[in-house]
Structures are given as C-alpha cells and as structure tokens.
Structure 1
C-alpha cells in the first residue's frame, strides 16, 4: 500500500509539472503554449506562428496528466508509464523539430536557448516513469479455495474408482 501511495504522489507531481511546463519558456524565451502542435508534424517544422492554447504543446501534456490521474485512480502501472512516455516523446519531438528549425540547440543562462519549460517536461516525464516503477499496481485476483466441509461426503456423488469401498456389493449368485 505504501508503494501505491508513493507512486501516486510521484505521478500527481509529475502530471502537475507536465501541465505547468508549456507555461514556462522553452526556447529563446518563447513559451511552450506558443508552439503549434501541427508544427511538430509538418514538413515546414517549427514556425514563428503562435497557436491557440488547446492546439499547442499544452494539449499532449494535458492528455498525459489525465492518463496519470486515471492511472492513480485505477492503480495502473501501464497507464502511468504511458503518460510518462507521452510527455517525453513530445518533448523529444519538439527538441528535434526546434533543432532542425534553428540549426542547433543551445543552453544559456541569459534567456537564450533551452529554457525551464523543457526541463520541466523532461522532469515530469521522468517522474511519471518513476511513479510507474514504484507503484505496485492492483493485486492479482486469486482463485478462492472452497471452505472445508464438515459433513460426510455423499457417496452417490463420489467418482467410482478402484479404491472406492462405498460401492454396494452385488448379491452372490447361485452357480449350480
């Protein structure tokens, strides 16, 4: 039970960090909510166009957070792991597309380059995967053993076999 509680707590923290990450700076001070989701899948790559909130990087992270919440409610390790993979996949896909558009990726403390939003996304994905590893999940259902009977077994219901001594004997026949 402790493992499920700890895994659930890690999963909820990871889901919160995933939803919060698009509202932080991702690259050159541009927030993750400003990147259109379709830019990750088109041939043009990342553009300077701003997307609506629900059509930005916010959408896959909200879906991952909902998966994590369902995973906590159902105590499902698989759903928690899929939420972590979803967050990491979109963060990596964004990095690949941003690197293609910019020519390279840089990390800088002056607000240029990769920002805290990317770090939040990777941290959230790692926390969700860690939560899946920590969670014990639902207990497996075992077949219940029948309670012991206190009455004598019915001889008519027992299978006949060579060791069966309850079979009525046949009366002897006259052999004259």
Structure 2
C-alpha cells in the first residue's frame, strides 16, 4: 500500500512539474482586486504583409476579465497611399478556422469603434491602428486549444478581410519570430 501511495505521489508530482514547465506564459499585465480580475497576455504577431511601400500587421492577445475571455486584435497598416478606414460594430466578428475544420467566431460586443489615424512625417506614411476586443464563449476555449489556426477572417463594419495564418512567421518589420498557428494552444492556458 505504501508503494502504491508513493507511486501515485511521484506521478502527481511529475505531472505537476511537467505542466508547470510547459505553461510558458508571457503576461502583459495582471490586476486582481476585491471586485475585479483582469489578465492580458502579450501581443503576438500572427500575420504580416510587407510590400516595398505598404505594410500590415495583425497582433493577437488574450484578455480575461472576471473569468470572461476576449480576443484582443491590433491591426496596424502603414502606407504612403490613402488607407481606407476600418471600423467595428455590433455585427463585427473574428472567425477562426482551425486545421481540424472547426470554425470558431468571436463577436464584438462593445460600442462602434474605428481605427485611429496618424501620419509619420519622417517616413511619410499614413498609419491606421485598430485595437478591439472580441468576446469568446468559454466553451470555445477548449476547441481552440485542440487544433492550430489555418485562417482568420475579420468582418469589419463595412468590409471583410481574410488572413492566411502561417505556422512560422519571421517578421521583416518588427524583427520577431512567432508561431501564429499555435497562438490559442500556447496562450489559452495562461488565462485559465
């Protein structure tokens, strides 16, 4: 009986240690008070388009507010030419197609919002940045952890954009290397 208890204890300890080592979380911020609990993972580059004069980058992060999960997107566009405005409204959503064929939708539930505009005098480029949070159903978190991402489609207020997600991305703009298809697999454990 002592051997069985000892083996169970060792197995439990090894499992706990291996899970702690595989949960490599990169947290941007975390705040816990009596009435509020917020945690946000760092931004991860999941898509990049780089032409000579125009670039666009899509960053994802996960946020949990009092246990409610959100996908935060930051869509950054730079160009010397005019960049059409992108807005999100109540019907906006992010559709995530997984390699296993499952499609998960995250819905925008906040007030209507448009990207911000700025002009880079030195680089002589127009810059638009959209930062928005999309609600993810808790039951969808388990599905998102099961399979890598293959496609992401964002339905803005007046247009839709499709992003093909690569398994490895070496950025030419921000000098980072990421694994975009594994974003949810790697980051959901950090907010659970």
Give the structure-1-normalised TM-score: 0.28
Q: Which has the higher contact order (CA 8 A, sep 6+)?
A: 1
TM-score by length of 2: 0.27
Which structure has the highest strand share of the two?
2
Higher helix share: 1
Q: Which has the larger radius of gyration?
A: 1
